[in-house]
Chain A
Amino acid sequence: MSEPLIRLDRLTQSFDGVTAVDALSMDIEKGEIFGFLGHNGAGKTTTIQMLTTLARPASGTATVAGYDINKDPLEVRRRIGYVPENVRLYDTLTAAENLVFFARLSGVDAPARRVRQVLELLDCTYLADKRVGGFSKGMRQRVGLAQAILHDPAVLFLDEPTSGLDPMGIKMLRDLVMRLNTEFGMTIFMNTHLISEIAKTCTSIAVLSHGKLVFHDRIDAVTARYGDDAALEELYLSLTPVGRLAEVA
């Protein structure tokens, strides 16, 4: 069996004595669309920040695309793309100017040409020469996705990508993510709250509660065991504090 593309090994993070991510260990295979579920403050974003090398873990480690996040952060960064929950860009620049800057920083050859290609791929060439300052959330999310795939990464990290999007925006993003996975072979690591999206998009899921991994399985196994979306939601709630509160009540 081949090495998993992402391997977390007792990954831990704490802030001011509070453990945000507690000895998280799991594997994510190449080509997966991985859905990372959890309540607010469960530690999902902190996990992504460690995997993308934006923050150093307090202890433990992880490998992404074969490189250790602590030992080879630059090699990890060459192989990943990241879309934060709120995509922030230089508002005074156009979308194309922003993207050319990030493409250059990623070491992309012929950045202007690559930016045009990516904007065409995401069907948003009309945004190229517009200043980002006037963009809606959906437009920003598209440019955010564009900056993440400029260098054709092996792994794409998405932090709550559908947060604040309208149903059309959510569908558009879902279609794009599926396309990047199937056509370009990108492995997707996605934090989300939307269980319906998990069922429609992901190939495997994990649930984080108070920094601890409480569930991890392939989606087909989960749906075979629990059935439809509603059952999936019940499973999620039973694993999270809200669900436990309901049980107590």
Chain B
Amino acid sequence: MQAAPSPGWLIARQSASFVLRERTVALLSGMFVVLVLISAWLGWSATSTVNRIYLDAAAFLQKSGQPVPSNPVLDISPLSLLRNMSVYVALIGALSAIVIGNRLVGLDRKAGVLPLIGIRPLGRNAYAAGKIAALAGLILALGAVAGAVAVATFLVLPAITLTGLQWTQLAGFMAVTTLYMAIFGLIGLAAGAGARSETVGLLLPVTLWLTLTFILPQLTANLNPTAAINPISALAIPPDTSFFHWAAVVLGPVSLADAYKFASAGLLDYLPQGIASPSFIPPVMTLILATAVAAAFAWRALTRLSMTEGEYNV
């Protein structure tokens, strides 16, 4: 006989299926997938063009008896052609995760069904676990789509073959990417459960995302004007002043976009020589710690969600 699914699993399955029906979620997730495809296409296109020009030039040089230089495509790590993906993850990926997290609990609150869920034989912990599991499933799905696009890109490029280590680095990049989106999904979930109104529940994490993505990287790394429009600001040595020194010490551990930028650059082999994260905590560790803290906040907000007054005020 088949065992009945646990209440937490039921909540997870139902929540994920509800959220997938939401137009906003579908739109943002779709945009994320399209941008990931564009980033892969840009990398593929650039590499193919250079490779084609090289092959024509090599044939010409060979015919005229001149020495043929090495293919420039092979001089740089092939992984670096995915560098645009980290920009799109920090922008649309994180925003999609916030909306997914927010809607996972927001749908129950908006519908006003919390009392009908609250009187079922499931504990508050099962409800919280179900919501977090639904978020994990949806974020993993987004990460898997990005990963599949990346793998497909490398498989169809003729001049590029990844080594075993590079495949491992790519897997690491996808794991870090998923972790980064999960942080924002958990923040969205926590705010969706904890905020009194639906508007605040969405504005709060979006404001936090704007701060982490656009403001902190400038304070901890550099004041390069492009940083204001590009969350993955130029990987450069910060000015040698006491302000940047202390900003890196104080804000470095919470500058998540910066941590993601350095972790991605390291894993995709495009981190310039001599440049390292200004924070004293290693980038990947920063992301792991941030996930744990965000998960703790989400758990607290979900387990404290009132089943009698959980409905939004506005």
List chain A positions with a Cβ less than 8 A from chain B: 49, 52-55, 73-75, 77-78, 80-82, 84, 86, 88-92, 101-102, 104-107, 109, 147
**Residues 10-31 of B contacting A (Cβ, < 8 Å):** 10-11, 14, 18, 21
Q: How far is the CB of B125 from chain A (nearest CB, A)?
A: 11
Q: Does B225 contact A (CB under 8 A)?
A: no
Q: How far is the CB of B313 from chain A (nearest CB, A)?
A: 15
Q: Does B7 contact A (CB under 8 A)?
A: yes
Whether the pair A107, B121 counts as a contact (CB closer than 8 A) is yes
Report if A102-B120 is in contact (Cβ < 8 Å); known contacts: A54-B307, A92-B21, A107-B4: yes
Whether the pair A53, B111 counts as a contact (CB closer than 8 A) is no
Report if A88-B112 is in contact (Cβ < 8 Å); known contacts: A104-B5, A105-B10, A107-B4: yes
Whether the pair B118, A90 counts as a contact (CB closer than 8 A) is no
Q: How far is the CB of A142 from chain B (nearest CB, A)?
A: 14
Distance in angstroms between the alpha carbons of A154 and B150 in the assembled complex? 56
Tell me the total A-B contact number using a CB cutoff of 8 A. Answer: 65
Q: Mark B20-46, 1 if CB is under 8 A from A, else 0.
A: 010000000000000000000000000
Report if A49-B116 is in contact (Cβ < 8 Å); known contacts: A105-B10, A107-B121: no
- Identify the interface centre among B21, B115, B117: most chain A CB within 10 Å of its CB: B115
Q: Does B314 contact A (CB under 8 A)?
A: no
Complex A-B: 15 CB contacts under 8 Å: A52-B119, A53-B119, A54-B118, A54-B119, A55-B307, A75-B121, A84-B115, A86-B112, A89-B111, A89-B113, A101-B14, A104-B5, A105-B7, A105-B10, A105-B120
Q: Does B137 contact A (CB under 8 A)?
A: no
Sort A-B residue pairs by CB-CB distance and give the 4 closest, nearest first: A88-B112, A105-B120, A77-B121, A82-B119
| Residue numbers in A under 8 Å from B120 (CB-CB) | 77, 102, 105-106
Please name the residue on chain B nearest to A103 by beta carbon. Answer: B120
Whether the pair B10, A104 counts as a contact (CB closer than 8 A) is yes
Report if A90-B18 is in contact (Cβ < 8 Å); known contacts: A54-B307, A104-B5: yes
Q: Does B123 contact A (CB under 8 A)?
A: yes
List chain B positions with a Cβ less than 8 A from chain A: 4-5, 7, 10-11, 14, 18, 21, 107, 111-113, 115-123, 306-308, 311
Whether the pair B113, A90 counts as a contact (CB closer than 8 A) is yes
Distance in angstroms between the alpha carbons of A52 and B107 in the assembled complex? 23
Which of B111, B306, B307 contacts A90, CB < 8 Å? Answer: B111
| Residue numbers in A under 8 Å from B119 (CB-CB) | 52-54, 77, 80-82
Please name the residue on chain B nearest to A55 by beta carbon. Answer: B308
Please name the residue on chain A nearest to B123 by beta carbon. Answer: A74
Whether the pair A88, B121 counts as a contact (CB closer than 8 A) is no
| Residue numbers in B under 8 Å from A74 (CB-CB) | 121-123
Distance in angstroms between the alpha carbons of A53 and B120 in the assembled complex? 10
Please name the residue on chain B nearest to A157 by beta carbon. Answer: B119
Distance in angstroms between the alpha carbons of A104 and B112 in the assembled complex? 19
